[in-house]
Amino acid sequence: MTIGFQLFMVLPFFMALSFFGMYEARAGRLLMNAPFQLPAIPNFPFPSFPGIPVVYYVDWDFNIKDWPSGKTFHAGDIIVFNYNRNLHNVVTINETKYEDYLNCVVSDKAKVLSTGNDAITLQNGVNYFICGTMGHCTAGMQIAIVTT
């Protein structure tokens, strides 16, 4: 069997996955283990459906505040923060602690992630994230993601 024929047989499978939001095109990654990856398809709109999680990849850095604009998020979607773990971290702020988010406060009870590749499942409501490294949040490393 030739490689071209194998790809022809497998391609509809990946197209179906992309339709149901299980394939994140920008990063060219599957939500399941696969022996290979398809190349990324830039700017191809994939629908988002409640109940079917979508994985979003965020390059966690300064001036990220507007990243959620124009995107529709649902509870259960997954945000993967990619960053240099020697410079940054990701702090999840409880929805009821809006003042902590606004003022870039990292409380003792806050969940601090620091692997450089952190996956977080979005909860219903507003999800707040900041960088806990001194001065980074006030310099623009914070996002609020609202789920519908």
What is the CATH classification number for the domain harbouring 107? 2.60.40.420
Whether residues 120 and 70 fall in one domain: yes
Residues 74 and 115 in one domain: yes
pLDDT digits (tens, 9 = 90+) for 57-90: 999 999 898 999 999 999 999 999 999 999 999 9
Query: Does this model's pTM top 0.85?
Result: no
Does residue 44 form part of some domain? no
pLDDT reported for residue 90: 98
What secondary structure does DSSP assign to 50-99, as a single string?
Answer: TTB--EEEEE--SS-TTTTTT--B-TT-EEEEE--TTT--EEEE-TT-HH
What residues of the chain score a pLDDT lower than 70?
1-50
Query: Domain count of the chain?
Result: 2
Please indicate, yes or no, whether residues 28 and 84 belong to a single structural domain of this protein. Answer: no
**pLDDT at res. 63:** 87
Domain span at residue 83 reads 49-148
Instruction: For the chain, report the end-to-end CA distance as a whole number of angstroms.
Output: 46
Question: For residue 44, what pLDDT is reported?
Answer: 44
Domain check: are 54 and 1 in the same one? no
pLDDT, residue 50, reads 60
Residues 56 and 113 in one domain: yes
- Alpha carbons 38 and 73: distance in angstroms, whole number: 24
pLDDT of residue 19: 47
